Structures are given as C-alpha cells and as structure tokens.
Amino acid sequence: MTEREINMSELSIKELSINNISEIKALFFDIFTNEPWNDDWSDETQLHEYITDLIGNRNSLSLGLYEDGELIGLSLGSIMHWYTGTEYYIFEFCIKTDRQGKGAGTAFLKMAEEHAKTKGATHIFLQTERTVPAYGFYRKNGFSELTDHVSFYKYFEQEN
C-alpha cells in the first residue's frame, strides 16, 4: 500500500469539541485555502471565530475522520429541528486533499449519516456550489438537488 492509499479498516470517526479546535483549524485552513476553493483565511481571528461558531454551540454535531490517529476529514454541522424532521445540517464537509478520490469521503459520509441517526436525525442538509468537484461527489453519494431552494446574500455597504 502506498502512502496515499486509504486503508478503510484504519478509518474511524469521533465527535469533536472545542478541545479539538487547533487540529480542526489546521486541517480546515489546509483544505480551503487551496484549489478549488482558494479561500482567504489569513485572518487568524476570523478563522478561530468561524470554527468556534460551528463547534461551540449547544446543538453542534462536529465529527472528525481519523486514519490511523491522524485527522483527515471534517463534518462540521448541527442538529436542527425542522418541521420535516430532525436534520443534520452540515456547514462544512472536507477531506484532506491528498486523501480525496480514494473512498475516504464516501466512507466518512456513511459514517456521519449513521452517527447522525443515533442523534435522532432523519436526513442531512448541506449546500455547495455547482462549479466545484464537491457537487458531483454529493450527487454520486445519493444527495438530491433542491431545485426550488435558493440561497441569497447581501453585503452591507461600508461606511468610510
């Protein structure tokens, strides 16, 4: 087995908390500041606050995928109670770049789904962009696009 191959028997998940913030931030930064995302997370305070927002709330369900003790994946979300049932709302899902395309993401999604079911979740909700590889990944893994769903944003005008 080469260094980049995934040994599925070595994969495990665990719930993450604020105690794991350093390793979460390091992996998140490494993944999302590179292709295809190229997000600018150079503001350490903003990164810290964002991760804290995701993992520090009372209904957080943040999971880590570990391969032989190394954190290689994140599923940062919350259990949300909606009229259609309890959902696992995933805000960020990612796999370490050199582990992508080898089955780890698919295995992690299945593990996360099973774990979310133990918390009473009946479905997963997440968002991504059509123009990134994640779109095809989610489709391949049985996710359906909500054709009537629209996401909006509005930047505030900055005062000088």
The kind and range of the H/E element at 73 are: strand 70-82
pLDDT tens figures, 18-60: 999 999 999 999 999 998 899 999 999 999 999 999 999 999 9
Q: Where are the beta strands (DSSP E) in the chain?
A: 11-15, 60-67, 70-82, 85-95, 123-126
Tokens 């606050």 found at: 49
Question: pTM of the prediction?
Answer: 0.90
Mean pLDDT of the chain: 93
C-alpha R_g of the chain: 16
pLDDT tens figures, 93-129: 999 999 999 999 999 999 999 999 999 999 999 999 9
pLDDT (0 to 100) of residue 6: 67
pLDDT (0 to 100) of residue 113: 97
